Amino acid sequence: MKKASMATYMPVLTKVIETTEKMGEQMNPSFEKIRQAIDDDAVAKMVPAEFNDIQMEFTDGTEQYQTNLANLKKAPVPARLIGKHRNLIAAYETYVEACAAMTASLNIEDTTVDVAAFNQAEKDQETAMDHVSTDVQRIMAMVM
């Protein structure tokens, strides 16, 4: 078995971070529309096709995050980073679960949002992403 090195680990970590940021930027306008509709108590007034598109975009994003998580789990981790990497995986897994919960809070059959679930998922995402960012910074500090 080939020994894990920074040269094999860092490209995986970099790609996960880049795709996470890109997907977040891509989904943010849709998130803002739903957030505004919830805040204005106007979800029922949304066009069903637009609501459906947002739910599908959230589903696609969550699938990308699940792929990223799988890539992190199978990444060749240098021994000195194993602890930090495990923390990163746990935080990223929590983030993916929160994204899935947010997606699940959107009911396309009747164009409704489980607001409590949506709000909790939003909080959980923010907390998890803070942990992901901290873990990545700690890994980078060990690499430098």
Q: What is the pLDDT of residues 63-84, one digit of tens each?
A: 999 999 999 999 999 999 999 9
Q: Is 90 exposed, middle or buried (0-12, 13-18, 19+ CB in 10 A)?
A: middle
In this predicted structure, the answer to whether residue 3 has a pLDDT above a threshold of 70 is: no
Q: Which two tokens stand for residue 111?
A: 């164009």
Distance from C-alpha of 124 to C-alpha of 61, rounded to nearest angstrom: 16
Question: What single-letter DSSP state applies at residue 2?
Answer: P
Cβ count within 10 A of residue 33: 15
How does residue 136 score in pLDDT terms, banded at 50, 70 and 90?
very high
In this predicted structure, the answer to whether residue 143 has a pLDDT above a threshold of 90 is: no
pTM: 0.93
Q: What is the pLDDT of residue 120?
A: 98
Residue 72 near residue 17 (C-beta atoms within 8 A): no
Q: What is the pLDDT of residue 2?
A: 53
Q: What is the pLDDT of residue 45?
A: 92
In this predicted structure, the answer to whether residue 100 has a pLDDT above a threshold of 80 is: yes
In this predicted structure, the answer to whether residue 1 has a pLDDT above a threshold of 60 is: no
